[in-house]
């Protein structure tokens, strides 16, 4: 179950976490089932580690796209966001990735899954 709560802090409270644990629910705070101790975050008072990266994406989206446009309709806004996200993933340089866009880094790590490549043939 994925939830987008109105007040997300309630879902990291001791009461909520204890309820989940007693119900046998495996809690993942960063999408990999762990916290980020390398960032100095402690389990009992840490913000969800995966949220750090998502919040950065939303901030970038707002400042580089949303705040710069005044779309007249929802469909124009949707198209504008789609175009920006495509740019962000395929063309925008990322300093944390050696200046490469995320899609280039991903396909370098997973060359056989790239959709443009023909499937390898077995002799």
Task: Give percent of the chain with pLDDT exceeding 70.
Answer: 59
- Which has more pLDDT, 111 or 123? 111
Q: Please tell me the predicted confidence (pLDDT) of residue 79.
A: 97
Identify the pLDDT of residue 65: 96
What the block records as the tokens of 33 is 């089932």
Q: 49, 36 in Cβ contact below 8 A? A: yes
User: Residue 108 in 3-state DSSP?
Assistant: helix
Ramachandran sector of residue 96 (left: φ over 0; alpha: ψ -120 to 50; beta: rest): alpha
Distance of CA 47 to the CA centre of its chain: 15
> What pTM does this model have?
0.52
Give pLDDT tens digits for 34-92: 444 544 444 544 445 557 778 888 999 999 999 999 999 999 999 999 999 999 999 99
Contact 34, 46 (CB under 8 A): no
Annotated domain spans of the chain: 8-49, 65-111
Distance CA 51, CA 9 (A): 12
């Amino acid at each position: 179950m994925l939830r987008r709560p109105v007040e997300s802090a309630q879902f990291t409270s001791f009461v909520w976490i204890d309820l989940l644990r007693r119900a046998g629910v495996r809690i993942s705070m960063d999408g990999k089932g762990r916290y980020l101790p390398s960032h100095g975050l402690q389990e009992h008072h840490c913000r969800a580690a995966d949220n750090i990266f998502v919040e950065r994406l939303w901030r970038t989206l707002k400042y580089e796209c949303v705040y710069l446009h005044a779309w007249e309709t929802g469909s124009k806004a949707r198209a504008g966001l789609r175009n920006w996200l495509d740019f962000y993933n395929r063309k925008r340089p990322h300093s944390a990735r050696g200046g490469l866009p995320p899609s280039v880094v991903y396909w370098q790590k997973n060359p056989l899954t790239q959709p443009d490549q023909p499937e390898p043939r077995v002799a």
